[in-house]
Structure 1
Amino acid sequence: MLSSGFKWMFLIIGTTIGAGYASGRELWQFFGLESGLAIAIFSILFSVSCVVIMKVGYQKKSTDYLPVLEVIVGKKLTKLYDVMVFVYLFTTTVVMLAGSGATGQAFYFSYWWGVGFIAVLLVLLFVRGVNSLLTINQFILPILLVGLLSVLVLFTFDHKLALFSNLKHQENWKAAFPFTALNILPLIAVLGAIGNKIQSQKEILVAGIGSGLTLGIVSYIYNNSLIQIAEEILVYEIPLFAILKHYNFGVLVFMSIMLWFAIFTTAASGILGLTTRIQSYWKSPLWVIALCCVTVMVPFTIFGFSTLISYIYPIYGVLNLYVLMRLILYPLWNNKNIA
């Protein structure tokens, strides 16, 4: 049961740590100075949301996100949020494709080579269905988390940064709500697709609490590091590279590869949510649907990585606040016992 819980935990983290998060761009967009309390609140809200989503999926034995969405937002708003989830998954997966292009540019490859490379691999991944994504997450995410934390902790010690020096003033605490809300829709889409694979309540608790705690710790250390290089972030498409420039080329290569895998796992999660939803209407293999989705997405990557994040993420962070509220208050308004 414990191993299954970690499997879902890595799926959740893999869905969340994508181009925006791993690069530092998404964290900087919402947090920055005076955000320690905001990150703590995010960690709690994120855990609660994951537990509720997984329990609903477990009860419904869902294979796509629609049954879960119907319970969370109500039947009247299901159609509206069904469209919102679909558009959100589409646009954020476009962001991931653009992030792959931006990562390639850091090594002087063509932007379109980076986009094309991830597009092809995404289609190939779904030849074997959902299990391929779960397997990749189990291997890649621990390496990514250890690598990212190692660099951030090393940067903290090398620059003698204080982790808890700016806790007196926490005026940015409200940022926790749109930041958590931003990540809710992809979680509903992905966790809704595996509801029928969850075997017990213990798996749900391990996955929900573990993912919230892990992301909270990483977010706090990462944000603390970004505060120190605030001026440099303005000239970097990917803020992480402003930290990595202080270290040798080997570290840069390793973390860039890990960044790309973070982008890939999040893009794969987005494609999973889209393809399982489309499959309920169009009975074709997942890889065929994935090929169609990716083909339509590629032209939209011309808008660029940071531009897409700057406009899309804050908008959805606000629009999803209603979903977040429903998740937090679920035990109060739901007629049935959540357990």
Structure 2
Amino acid sequence: MIKGEISNIFKVAFLYMATVIGAGFASGQEIIQFFSKYYNGGFYGALLTGVLFSIIGYAILDRVYSERIKSYDEFLFPMMGYFLGRIMEFIVMLFMSCVLSVMVAGLGSILMELTGIEYRYCVVISAIVCLLAIMTNIKGIVAVSSFLSPFLVVGILFVGIYMIVTKDTSVFSLSNKVVRVTNNWVFSSLLYVSYNTILSTVMLTSVLPYLKTKRVSTWGGILGGGMLCLTVLILNFALYFFYPKSITSEMPVLSILQNNNQLLGNIYSVILILAMYTSAITSGYCLSERIAAKMNINYRIVAVVMCALVIPMSSMGFSSLIATLYPVFGYLGLFLVFVILLQFIKCKLTKA
């Protein structure tokens, strides 16, 4: 591989990761809900998740490269048809709006705790900061995610390993509030992959300029999925030691760290901010781009309006979104995952 290929592989892989590693992931809330609550099954679920992320990432990018796809429309409608495509498009846009509003609200909450500024002003500041990145279009999003994602991965892995090594659970009280997303770790993992595929599909269909060779499209998806698998495994392993003790916190990882190491807890607050920021700008970009393309309106105007609408919508809860809305979108997104994999297998069999 030449140097440019390796660089683009990592850019695409980190962009893929940036759409998945949001605040729910970094806080541990998603890991708790979809993996840790299943005890040993959570580890098998993490492995299954990594395999599926790699396959789906490879399948999407392979088609984007082979058919020179430049937009989500070019990817979705030939695969699903007009009627089902419209339904899925509505689901995608609804999910992205939920993610954007909740992440901005989360950023506002953390900013308020760090600065003491009134919450509503913190939300406005957060929305403006997100808007600045969204306005840069896909190149700016790739640049931001390529820069921030390595810090997120390293930070999460370090904290996960630290929790595994120290694992002092004596400071926590038992909690009986244990509610599982499903009764089966396999289906829980499928739902997790499913709702994350909704957003990542939109983002990955925009990266054709970086798919200079087939190797980039192949390894970008596989590497992204592999790194996601590693981070899920480490974080789930760490949280497993504390389950089911005090994991009903909105941000389990941060709660554990603050009880064990205040300094590390403060540092991880920064990691959470980065996670929320990457999640907010990727969902905000995808949503603005979709609306602009459909309504034939200037992209930047749409971005400004969307970020303005997020401010009054920011009263939505954080953990409630993950525990309630995310599984719903997981069920809705299962059809998208099925069609992507079916189309991929069909294409490979035809070429063979």
Structure 2 length-normalised TM: 0.86
Aligned-pair CA distance for 1:60: 4.0
Matched with 2:205 is: 192
Structure 2: gaps spanning 5 or more residues: 170-182
* Structure 2 residue aligned with 1:165: none
Q: Percent identity?
A: 24
> Which residue pairs with 1:254 in the alignment?
267
2:77 to 50, 70, 93: 70
- Find the counterpart in structure 2 of residue 176 from structure 1: 189
Q: 1:289 offset after TM fit, Å?
A: 1.6
Structure-1 separation of matches of 2:319 and 2:211: 36
Q: 2:278 aligned with 1:265, yes or no?
A: yes
Hey, what does 1:26 align to over in structure 2? 30
For residue 276 of structure 1, report the CA deviation from its aligned partner. 1.7
Equivalent positions of 1:1-339 (< 5 A) are 1-32=5-36, 33-34=39-40, 35-107=42-114, 109=116, 110-159=118-167, 172-229=185-242, 230-234=244-248, 236-334=249-347
Write the letter of the residue equivalent to 2:276.
Answer: I
Indicate if the aligned counterparts of 1:31 and 1:172 stay in contact, CA closer than 8 A. yes
Select between 134-143 and 111-120 the one with higher mean Cα deviation: 111-120
Count of residues in Structure 1 that have an aligned counterpart in Structure 2: 330
Please state how far the C-alpha of 1:117 moved relative to its aligned partner.
2.4
CA deviation after TM superposition for structure 1 residue 216, in Å: 0.9
Code of the aligned partner of 1:9: A
Distance verdict in 2 for CA 1:337–1:232, change over 3 Å? same
Q: 1:274 to 1:60 in 2, by over 3 A?
A: farther
Q: What SS is found at the alignment partner of 1:280?
A: helix
Q: Structure 1 pair 188/158, CA: closer, same or farther in 2 (3 Å)?
A: same
Question: What is the CA–CA distance in structure 1 between the aligned matches of 2:95 and 2:184, rounded to whole Å?
Answer: 29
Give the aligned residue type for 1:181.
S
In 1, distance between residues paired with 2:211 and 2:295? 25
Q: Return the alpha-carbon distance in structure 2 between the equivalents of residues 337 and 256 of structure 1.
A: 49
Q: 2:75 touches 2:205 (CA, 8 Å); kept in 1?
A: yes
Q: Give unmatched runs, 5+ long, in structure 1.
A: 162-169
Q: Is the 8 A contact 1:126 1:286 kept in 2?
A: no
Residue 288 of structure 1, CA deviation: 2.3
Q: Which moved more, 1:294-303 or 1:176-185?
A: 294-303
Matched position secondary structure for 1:259: helix
After the TM superposition, which of the residue ranges 58-67 and 83-92 deviates more from structure 2?
A: 58-67
Range with greater deviation from structure 2 (312-321 or 280-289): 280-289
Partner of 1:164: none
CA RMSD of aligned residues (A): 2.4
| Distance change in 2, residues 1:322/1:282 (3 Å) | closer
